[in-house]
Amino acid sequence: MPFPMLWVVYGILGGTFDPPHIAHLAAAHAAYEQMGLDHVRLLPAREPWQKFDRGVTSPKHRLAMARLAAAEADYLVVDETEMHRRGPTYTIDTLESLEGDPVLILGSDSAIGIPSWHRAEDVLAMAKIAVVPRPTVSFEAVTAAIGDSYTPISMPTLDLSATEIRDHIRAGRSPGFLVPQSVLFYIDANDLYRKRDA
């Protein structure tokens, strides 16, 4: 979809979205409110380089689920930039293609890994960083990794991962409210995550 051409401050919440879940939406909402963002873009990665070892659901399904999740709030949109890029997906490549004033929204467990990212120093120079709490990594640990070049976001710490949700579904249990209802319907309709190789 087209985005406003005005120089606006907006959030970028990247991820595999395999599937998108309530922790993604809570992080987007908290950053949207506390950072005064114009909108938040959900940015699905086509080929996330850090997850090659486990494989991911097809880009088609993950993009469709991201669109359904974005429909949950009027400030959410889906940015397909990385979906159209072949090969490993690096944050710096996406940042260099964007206009406006992007704010990367990251969990503390992801933010602590920024030093290992491709062209990490350029990432920190090109975008503001908003960090949401995750149960395994404190803000103090994030500061030790990247200094004070980020804004901590205040919100409840949600101990939830897409891996847990996939395992839940694979075991025949419904994830219930952990994913948007529309996403759950899509998962059921397309028989996703029922088998180990799904």
Identity of residue 25: L
Is residue 194 in some structural domain?
no
Residues near 130 by beta carbon (within 8 Å), at least 6 away in sequence: 11, 31, 34, 35, 103, 104, 105, 106, 150, 151, 153
Show the domain range for 100.
9-158
How would you write the pLDDT of the chain (198 residues) with one tens digit per residue?
555 555 689 999 999 999 999 999 999 999 999 999 999 999 999 876 554 445 789 999 999 999 999 999 999 999 999 998 887 778 999 999 998 999 999 999 999 999 999 999 999 999 999 999 999 999 999 999 999 999 999 999 999 999 999 999 999 999 989 999 999 999 999 999 987 544
Is residue 175 in some structural domain?
no
Three-state secondary structure call for residue 14: strand
Is residue 63 in some structural domain?
yes
Residue 66 to residues 19, 149, 152, 172, Cα–Cα distance (Å): 8, 29, 25, 23
- Tell me how many domains the chain contains: 1
Is residue 189 in some structural domain?
no
* Domain CATH for 50: 3.40.50.620
Is residue 46 in some structural domain?
yes
Q: What is the pTM of this model?
A: 0.90
Tokens 């920024």 label which residue? 114
Q: Which of 79, 100, 102, 127 is nearest to 4 (CA)?
A: 100
Is residue 56 in some structural domain?
yes
67/42 Cα distance (integer angstroms): 8
Q: Which two tokens stand for residue 180?
A: 């948007």
pLDDT at 2: 54
Is residue 151 in some structural domain?
yes
Is residue 187 in some structural domain?
no
